[in-house]
Amino acid sequence: MTNSTSNKTRRDFLKTAGVAGIAGATATTLGAPAVHGASHAKTIKWRLQTYAGAALAQHVIKPAIDSFNKVARNEMKIELYTADQLVPTGELFRAMQKGTIDAVQSDEDSMSAPVDVSVFGGYFPLATRYSLDVPVLFNQYGLKEIWEDAYSKIDNVTWLSAGSWDPCHFNTKKPIRSLADLKGLRVYTFPTAGKFLSQFGVIPVEIPYEDAEVAVQTGELDGMAWSGITEDYTVGWANVTKYFLTNNITGAWIGSFFANSERWNAVPPHLQELLRLCMDSSHYYRQHWYWGGEAKLRVKGTKLQLTTIPDNEWAQVEAAGLKFWDEIAKKSERSAKVVKILKEYNSVMAKAGKPYRY
């Protein structure tokens, strides 16, 4: 999607509806009597915006939304919008809270969610090694309950579900073979990851998602520290960069589904359950899509040359990650709980040995 198309879509959206108009119209729809199967029942309509651009959204969310709409038939329909199409990613949380949009798929870090756990959304440095770490942490180690508690304090936003995405690697125009090569690199990355990487000389640059590829071509960026190799090929970044660093900042991105609480509470229980099942389906799809893609494109991909920082040097990054954890733990009692869980979990994985940790 070009910027002009994106801006036109956003202008048309705001011009024809407006924040108050959208909220009022949607509330009227959701407030209709839930007489399922009756001829006069109205279809519940939602607008959901994802953090992902158009090409990436085809994998990370569209299959699940298509399935939901198919099974829900005319009882409910979710309209899917991609990165920055209706509102800028940084404004997603507030737009959902106000009712401008009904639901969101994103990490908390990118959309500036006003909760202390937002720092752990996206790429929290060195927190995970593999994609399966994320659902285990949420479902077996207590992160789910911590997230639910955090968002229960936030007005009119309901956190629904978290899942894992790809690991965070560098793809750049210049090769990275040592920590020294990171100095001065201007990269597109996530807020917390950027803050962490800055101590190694990386210069984080915040721009709209769809502008990143052009920014590399014009020289505004040297590359990205935003994804794994699967996304590099899928969204076109492998066409404008030459190198892929095999060391990763963390093993899996943590993203979530959220909804405006008023809209969510107005949805009948059976459709809520259907949406939860489709979110789980989305999480499962990404597990195998990314896991297989990361390996296959390292071996068979022809556009990016692989480079590696030696283990003895990378150990400095890992040590800095643990120090960063301790700094974050001081921010709040809830943050301290999350860091404690991460330490406990990674200790268990290390003691378990292969294949959990090497």
One pLDDT digit (tens) per residue for the chain, 358 residues: 444 444 445 545 444 444 444 334 433 333 334 444 444 479 999 999 999 999 999 999 999 999 999 999 999 999 999 999 999 999 999 999 999 999 999 999 999 999 999 999 999 999 999 999 999 999 999 999 999 999 999 999 999 999 999 999 999 999 999 999 999 999 999 999 999 999 999 999 989 999 999 999 999 999 999 999 999 999 999 999 999 999 999 999 999 999 999 999 999 999 999 999 999 999 999 999 999 999 999 999 999 999 999 999 999 999 999 999 999 999 999 999 999 999 999 999 999 999 999 8
Determine the structural domain holding residue 213 and report its residue range.
Answer: 169-251+302-352
Assess if residue 261 is contained within a domain.
yes
Asked if 19 and 140 sit in the same domain, the reply is: yes
CA 30, 51, 205, 343 dihedral sign is positive
Domain assignment present for residue 357? The answer is: no
**Residue 355, preceding peptide bond in cis (omega within 30° of 0):** yes
The single-letter code of the amino acid at 103 is A
Looking at the structure, do residues 87 and 224 belong to the same domain, yes or no?
no
Clarify whether residues 70 and 215 are in a common domain. no
Strands 103-106 and 169-172: unpaired
Is the CB of residue 91 less than 8 Å from the CB of residue 240? no
Does residue 175 sit in the same domain as residue 230?
yes
Do residues 188 and 63 both lie within one domain? no
Clarify whether residues 134 and 100 are in a common domain. yes
Is residue 81 in a domain?
A: yes
The conformation of residue 68, written as its DSSP 8-state character, comes to H
- What sign results for the dihedral spanned by CA atoms 47, 48, 52, 56? negative
Task: Collapse the DSSP code of 258 into the 3-class scheme (helix H, G, I; strand E, B; otherwise coil) and give the result.
Answer: strand
Within this chain, do residues 17 and 92 fall inside the same structural domain, yes or no? yes
Residue 358 lies in a domain: no
Residue 53 and residue 191 in one domain: no
Q: Is residue 134 part of a domain?
A: yes
For residue 160, tell me if it sits in a domain. Answer: yes
At position 330, the amino acid (one-letter code) is: K
Task: Mark whether 324 and 267 lie in a shared domain.
Answer: no
Are 150 and 195 contained in the same domain? no
Of 293, 311, 343, the residue that ends a domain is: 293
Q: Are residues 35 and 180 in the same domain?
A: no
Residues 180 and 258 in one domain: no
Total domains in the chain come to 2
pTM listed for this prediction = 0.87
The answer to the question of residue 123 being in a domain is no
Q: What is the CATH number of the domain that holds 32?
A: 3.40.190.170
Half-sphere exposure of 66 (CA within 13 A, CB side): 7
Which of 108, 124, 128, 107 lies closest to 116 in space, CA to CA?
A: 108
Say how far apart CA 26 and CA 99 lie, in whole Å.
Answer: 8
Distance between CA atoms of 61 and 6, rounded to whole angstroms?
19
